Structure 1
Amino acid sequence: MAEQKIGTGLKLALEMGPIAAFFIGYVMLKDRVFSIGGTNYDGFIIVTAAFIPLMILTTAILWKLTGKLSRMQIATVILVVVFGGLSVWLNDERFFKMKPTMIYALFAVALGIGLARGQSWLQLVMGEALPMKPAGWMILTKRLALFFAFLAIANEVVWRSFSTEIWVNFKTFGLTAALFVFFMAQGRLMAEHGDAPHDEDEPGQNGTGV
């Protein structure tokens, strides 16, 4: 399927919508308990059960509209299904809380493997959207691998040490804000190593020197 462009607002809604819906659902149902088939499920488990198909649906829509999914998006959906499904099946919220840890740890390891091979796998994912010289990509990849490792550790500390409500707020706002701040902080790196495309009509670029 050929890659297609969609509006930034729609893309953001499809990517962030399920997270926003999870947070709203949790706030509404966190103090309620539902009896299904003789088993009691708290609001967190019910919201998790709803989040899984919503995540699959929005990802499928994104794929249908754009014609492609990144490896990160595919990995995220798989881990949501696996760890969210385990939480619902075993009625144990701990598995879903582990999901961000596994996602960020997986990304950190994947980027680290690429670096060990002298490659920036991040460039393969974001290269078209962010033109930058190879040296810049290597630096950004190293920083992001370390940052993902930090986020994995931070998630483990928060979900193991604090209440479910604090973890939900951390997951919804803390992790999102941390990623935003990280990429904003890379502005200088991107400016120094930016690889702007050359204009074919510039002197010397068309073979005539005119």
Structure 2
Amino acid sequence: MKQILNILPMFIFFIFYKFYDIFIASGSLIVISGLICIIHWIFYNEIDKISLFSFLSVFFFGSLTIFFHNSQFIKWKITIIYIIFSLVLLISQFFTRKPMIQRFLEKDIKISNIYWRKINFIWSLFFLFCAILNIYIAYYFSETIWVNFKVFGFTSLTFFLILITSIYINCKISKNK
């Protein structure tokens, strides 16, 4: 349920963009992200950090997009988020005992710390790659292509890396048995 709530804003943004424009879509993104925080509070008695961070970033960049009537703000939102994710993973990689990915998944998955570090590093590079790719697409392609890629391209890339990561983890778990 939580995962569906976390990806719902992206698809709402896409639908409103297709029927209206990027400014209405940005407004809908702000509203749905806020509603998701409320839903988290009602059903789980907490607002998880990812939903709160997502709402705050959407509110900030979406509001700037609407206020200045400039789509560049919403286009930069995802780049900045990807850079933050990459930096958080890299910092945890080199300056903490456990990489961030391990902290999220270790209660469900038991593999060696060295494998967690490899996975963490790959994901940090992935987010950096996505940040660069987003800027490239935002500046060198049409807004429609950017929206389509934001929704379907990044989602596909993320699911692909999840699949590769899952296969890698499964191989490491199998070797440990």
TM-score (norm 1): 0.75
Change (3 A) 1:126 1:62: farther
After TM superposition, the structure 1 stretch with the greater mean CA deviation from structure 2, 163-172 or 60-69, is 60-69
Q: 1:192 & 1:125 partners in 2: Cα distance?
A: 19
1:127 pairs with 2:118: no
Q: Show the 5 A alignment for 1:121-200.
A: 121-194=100-173
Which of 1 and 2 has greater Rg? Answer: 1
**Cα drift, residue 75 of structure 1:** 2.4
Gaps of 5+ in 1: 1-9, 30-42, 199-210
Alpha carbons 2:111, 2:172 under 8 Å: kept = yes
Opposite residue 116 of structure 1, the aligned amino acid is: F
1:23 pairs with 2:1: no
Q: 1:60 & 1:109 partners in 2: Cα distance?
A: 28
Q: Once the two structures are aligned, what percentage of the paired residues are identical?
A: 26
Secondary structure in 1 aligned to 2:173? coil
Give the aligned CA root-mean-square deviation in angstroms: 2.1
Alpha carbons 2:89, 2:124 under 8 Å: kept = yes
Which of these residues, 56, 64, 68, is aligned with residue 34 of structure 2?
56
Alpha carbons 2:83, 2:127 under 8 Å: kept = yes
Alpha carbons 1:15, 1:59 under 8 Å: kept = no
Gaps of 5+ in 2: none
Q: Matched residue pairs, number?
A: 174
Opposite residue 14 of structure 2, the aligned amino acid is: F
Opposite residue 171 of structure 2, the aligned amino acid is: E
TM-score (norm 2): 0.88
Which of these residues, 41, 51, 69, is aligned with residue 91 of structure 1?
69
**Cα drift, residue 53 of structure 1:** 1.6
Opposite residue 146 of structure 2, the aligned amino acid is: W
User: Counting helix residues as a fraction of each chain, which structure ranks higher?
Assistant: 2
